[in-house]
Structure 1
Amino acid sequence: MSWMRRGWTVMLASLLFAAPAQACEGEACANGLAYEAFGPPPGRSQPVLAFFIHGDVSAGGPADYMYSYAKQFAASRKNVVAIALLRPGYYDRAGKRSDGSDNGRRDTFHSGNNRAVAGAIRELKQKYNARAVVALGHSAGAGTIGVIAGDYPGLINGIVLTSCPCDAAAWNASRGRRGGFSSQSPVDYLSGIGSGTAIVAVTGQADDNTRPDLATDYVAKAQARGLPARLQLVGGGHNFTGALAGNSVSALGAMAR
């Protein structure tokens, strides 16, 4: 029985000393959402703000995989502030958590959560007195910024939609989910996007989650409206790594000028 007591002791200790995720508060909090900023502090200049927005992270755990990309992005550019923003209900491995709910990590880019992200972007744009805002979103993060670009005209000047579920109904159907979802579709908000807004959709050719036809259809409809949209199909699947990440960050870099 001693091994059982030792097991319970270890479990109890881990529960007592594990740092719980904290609600968003303090300087690194905008409109209730936690973030990490890399680059010059506010008040030094009029920078370009480059947002990095994560996906659903359906397997669980911290949603901070964009931190390293944002840090590298800012380090290699002058007068650019890169911000990795945690969507509502998500947390990082340091214990910071955004207010709101991740809705069980599915059906996450609905109007309430998209409104929260747009509010955070607006607040940070004002805080840094930014001359322009560009954003890269992966998976559900792409769904989020795709909607915001059209629903809040002029807030974002360029978007990179990586592994985009650009038509939420078609995406859910392709995943065997029919009805009962409230996520908004970027394709439904194309009419609100300003004519000068740069759009790049990047999708892995082997992506069996947000399949390439979703981005292909979105770009075709954007181009039909006269928007400067282009599609990049790259090697790899859905995860933000390799060619998918490299091409997405490069596309964002071309906008951050």
Structure 2
Amino acid sequence: MRWHRLLSVALGLGLAGCAGSGAGDGTRSASITAADAGVQEQAFGASGRRSVKALVYVLHRDRTGAQAEESDRFARELAQASPGARVIALTQSESIGDAESRGFTRERINRLADYIEARSKRYPGVPTVLVGDGGGAALAANLAGLRPKLVDGLVLAACPCMLPEWRKHMEKRMPRGTFKPAANSLDPLMTVGGVRSETKAALLVGANDPITPPKFSRGYAEALALRGIATDFRVLPGKGNDILTDPEVLSATTRMLAALQAPR
């Protein structure tokens, strides 16, 4: 199944790449707010135009409470570890309906992309990295495929990056009828053709993750490699699903930021 889907991806890379570079751009406004994008933001680190050397957006897994706190904690620690980085933790707004909050729809992705593009205009020439956790990782992967010019680096933790297979996995784990992801969600494995070849990527997943087992990250990592994209795929021994605040994820992100800011 995995290799059949990867072959389909490889055959469609040219078409997906063309679609990713321009399709779905829509109307963009420099005045778009976090509320317009359906998120709430918390910023850490550098803020002045001259002091900001990199932009990092941390997309959590669409939960509140402890998960949102983990996202803020990671963003704070990353800002401390990477001087010059402006790190923005994004949490899902309660105004977004349940159906869409569980999905990765084109509308939702473009709304978030418009927000990121508007913020990036404040810091021209500065690299942008997306760090995604769980559902936030799938959202980041799809955004990189649909709006590739906005993304220089991807760090994906515990990603459900093979959406149809992951849905089947979750349906087996949960009582019938309780798991209802949006039907029109985009599968990261099928938008991967739009990711720029220059993008840097890191995927990390716990070896004992029961929610998003390593196979769902491995398949996407292989698809990135087929595109010639530099990809660091790591399975963390003994770790489960909650790995955003694991030192390995912070280390992978700081290394990526250092590489993106290095003189060329």
Provide TM-score, normalisation by structure 1: 0.76
CA contact (8 A) 1:48 1:130 kept: no
Q: Aligned residue for 2:222?
A: 220
Q: Aligned residue for 1:170?
A: 165
Match of 1:145 among 140, 143, 150: 140
Aligned alpha-carbon RMSD (Å):
2.5
Looking at structure 2, the residues matched to 44 and 138 of structure 1 have their Cα atoms a distance apart, in angstroms, of 29
Match of 1:123 among 92, 95, 118: 118
Looking at structure 2, the residues matched to 64 and 181 of structure 1 have their Cα atoms a distance apart, in angstroms, of 29
Bigger radius of gyration among the two: 1
* Paired residue total: 218
Looking at structure 1, the residues matched to 144 and 205 of structure 2 have their Cα atoms a distance apart, in angstroms, of 19
4+ residue segments displaced more than 3 Å = 26-33, 177-180
Residues 1-257 of structure 1 mapped to structure 2, 5 A cutoff:
29=34, 31-32=36-37, 33-57=39-63, 61=65, 63-87=68-92, 89-90=93-94, 100-103=95-98, 107-129=102-124, 131-176=126-171, 181-235=183-237, 236-240=239-243, 245-257=246-258
Using the TM superposition, give the Cα deviation of residue 47 of structure 1 relative to its aligned residue in structure 2, in angstroms: 1.9
Distance 1:27 1:185, change over 3 A: closer
Distance 1:241 1:255, change over 3 A: closer
Greater percentage in helix: 2
CA contact (8 A) 1:198 1:255 kept: yes
Distance 1:224 1:44, change over 3 A: closer
Using the TM superposition, give the Cα deviation of residue 225 of structure 1 relative to its aligned residue in structure 2, in angstroms: 2.1
Looking at structure 1, the residues matched to 180 and 77 of structure 2 have their Cα atoms a distance apart, in angstroms, of 40
The one-letter code of the counterpart of 2:252 is: A
Higher RCO (C-alpha 8 Å, min separation 6): 2
Distance 1:130 1:249, change over 3 A: farther
Using the TM superposition, give the Cα deviation of residue 43 of structure 1 relative to its aligned residue in structure 2, in angstroms: 2.4
Note the residue ranges of structure 2 that are not aligned, 5 or more in a row.
Answer: 1-30, 172-178, 259-264
Using the TM superposition, give the Cα deviation of residue 180 of structure 1 relative to its aligned residue in structure 2, in angstroms: 5.9
Using the TM superposition, give the Cα deviation of residue 139 of structure 1 relative to its aligned residue in structure 2, in angstroms: 0.5
Using the TM superposition, give the Cα deviation of residue 226 of structure 1 relative to its aligned residue in structure 2, in angstroms: 1.5
Looking at structure 2, the residues matched to 178 and 34 of structure 1 have their Cα atoms a distance apart, in angstroms, of 24
Using the TM superposition, give the Cα deviation of residue 183 of structure 1 relative to its aligned residue in structure 2, in angstroms: 2.1
The one-letter code of the counterpart of 2:184 is: S
Identity of aligned residues (%): 23
Distance 1:126 1:251, change over 3 A: same
Q: Aligned residue for 1:97?
A: none
The one-letter code of the counterpart of 1:237 is: G
Cα deviation 1:213-244 (Å, max 9, x = unaligned): 111111112212212123100031111356xx
Higher mean C-alpha displacement, 77-86 vs 233-242: 233-242
Provide TM-score, normalisation by structure 2: 0.74
Using the TM superposition, give the Cα deviation of residue 130 of structure 1 relative to its aligned residue in structure 2, in angstroms: 5.2
CA contact (8 A) 1:56 1:105 kept: no
Higher mean C-alpha displacement, 157-166 vs 32-41: 32-41
Distance 1:50 1:30, change over 3 A: farther
CA contact (8 A) 2:102 2:181 kept: no
CA contact (8 A) 1:31 1:123 kept: no
Using the TM superposition, give the Cα deviation of residue 102 of structure 1 relative to its aligned residue in structure 2, in angstroms: 4.7
Using the TM superposition, give the Cα deviation of residue 199 of structure 1 relative to its aligned residue in structure 2, in angstroms: 1.0
